[in-house]
Amino acid sequence: MIDLRTPGEIEAMRPAGEFVASVLKATRAAAVPGANLLEIDALAHRMIRAAGAESCYVDYHPSFGASPFGKVICTSVNDAVLHGLPHDYTLAKGDLLSLDFAAKVDGWVSDSAVSLVVGGDETPEDARLIATCEQALEAGIAAAQPGGRLGDVSAAIGDVAHRAGYTVNLQFGGHGVGTEMHGDPHVPNDGRPGRGFPLRPGLVIAIEPWLMAGTDEIYTDGDGWTLRSADGSRAAHVEHTVAITPDGPLVLTAR
């Protein structure tokens, strides 16, 4: 079922968006050469406790996960695409890291992700991959206008990706957000404009482009969670939680 939120409920979702943005800002700053992925997860865990928030990940166990996730943030490194399970790995300069975080505050969820190159030593290829994801996210948000269709968002994302020469995987994408992390509707990262669910005021969705440098095929790592590119190429992933309002899209997780 697709829920439409009242203006008051969208206002009530703002603290969750602000908290998620603050955790991503802090964990991004902590992602320096020599930092361990478990330390980044521990930082996010401390911030959750201090805020009285709830993790959306620690007990999360969907059909595609081998077991409950057990951590509070996704840390995907280099060829890891999505759902990167934090483990004993020390970041090195030049690693491409995606941080994906969702939490519940006062009963409402927000979800967001960011990609970066550790130590700021970007190759032209990594810079282009991350920039394309960010441009696709901006295009998807700009297309999330009341009176439009969900396909407008998907088509805007896919158009940016294809123009940059990347292929798009449709197995995972954006989703509805509300009192739970994942809900209807599914928001593919490619599609046809003018098709799909109407973009009505009150709809809240996570828009999340993710791309791999050389393929659109993925496989699941032996940890049962981390998704990796089939050819070992590097990946980037960005995301915002966005509410459709009469005045246009409202980014609840703006950093």
Please provide the DSSP assignment of 105-135 as one string. ETTEEEEEEEEEEGGG---HHHHHHHHHHHH
Give the pLDDT score at 63. Answer: 87
pLDDT tens, position by position, 237-250: 999 999 999 999 99
For helices 7-30 and 37-51, angle between their N-to-C axes, nearest 10 degrees: 140
208 in a labelled binding site: yes
Give the pLDDT score at 150. Answer: 98
Q: Is 84 helix (H, G, I), strand (E, B) or coil?
A: coil
Give the pLDDT score at 121. Answer: 82
For the question of whether the overall pTM of this predicted structure is more than 0.95, the answer is yes
182 in a labelled binding site: yes
What are the two backbone dihedrals, phi and then psi, of residue 146, each rounded to the nearest 5 degrees? -60, 140
Q: Which two tokens stand for residue 97?
A: 């890291």
223 in a labelled binding site: no
pLDDT tens, position by position, 63-121: 889 899 999 999 999 999 999 999 999 999 999 999 999 999 999 999 999 999 999 88
pLDDT tens, position by position, 121-151: 899 999 999 999 999 999 999 999 999 999 9
Q: Is the dihedral of CA 154, 142, 96, 51 positive or negative?
A: negative
Q: Which two tokens stand for residue 166?
A: 């990347």
Angle at 111 between CA 107 and CA 112, to 5 degrees: 150
Mean pLDDT score of the chain, rounded to an integer?
97
Whole-angstrom distance, CA of residue 237 vs CA of residue 220: 17
Whole-angstrom distance, CA of residue 61 vs CA of residue 50: 25
247 in a labelled binding site: no
83 in a labelled binding site: yes
Q: Which two tokens stand for residue 160?
A: 């940016």
What amino acid occupies position 15? P
Scan for tokens 């799909």, then name that residue: 196
Give the pLDDT score at 98. Answer: 98
Is pLDDT at 204 greater than 90 in this prediction? yes
Whole-angstrom distance, CA of residue 178 vs CA of residue 156: 24
Per CATH, domain 7-251 is 3.40.190.10 = no
DSSP 8-state symbol, 197 = S
Whole-angstrom distance, CA of residue 253 vs CA of residue 3: 19
Q: Is 202 helix (H, G, I), strand (E, B) or coil?
A: coil
Residues 194 and 152: beta-carbon distance below 8 Å: yes
pLDDT tens, position by position, 182-196: 999 999 999 999 999
186 in a labelled binding site: no
Burial of 165 (0-12, 13-18, 19+ CB in 10 A): exposed
